[in-house]
Amino acid sequence: MRIAPVPALPEIRLYAAHPASGLWRLTHQVGQAAEPEEEGTEADEDGPEPQPPYWAYAWAGGAVLARYILDRPESVAGLRVLDLGAGSGLVGIAAAKAGAREVLASEIDRNGVAALGLNAAANSVAITVVGQDITAGPPPPVDVVAAGDLFYGQDLADRVIPFLDRCLAARVNVLIGDPGRAYLPRSRLRLLAEYRVPDVGEAKGAAMKPSGVFSFEPE
Could you tell me if 112 and 89 are in contact, meaning their C-beta atoms sit under 8 angstroms apart? no
Could you tell me if 1 and 191 are in contact, meaning their C-beta atoms sit under 8 angstroms apart? no
User: What pTM does this model have?
Assistant: 0.83
Rounded to whole angstroms, the Cα distance separating 182 from 162 reads 17
Give pLDDT, residue 57. 77
Domains assigned to the chain? 2-54 (no CATH), 57-216 (3.40.50.150)
Per-residue model confidence as pLDDT tens for the chain (219 residues): 789 899 899 999 999 765 544 444 444 444 333 333 333 334 444 444 455 666 667 899 999 999 999 999 999 999 999 999 999 999 999 999 999 999 999 999 888 899 999 999 999 999 999 999 999 999 999 999 999 999 999 999 999 999 999 999 999 999 999 999 999 999 999 999 999 998 875 556 666 789 999 999 999
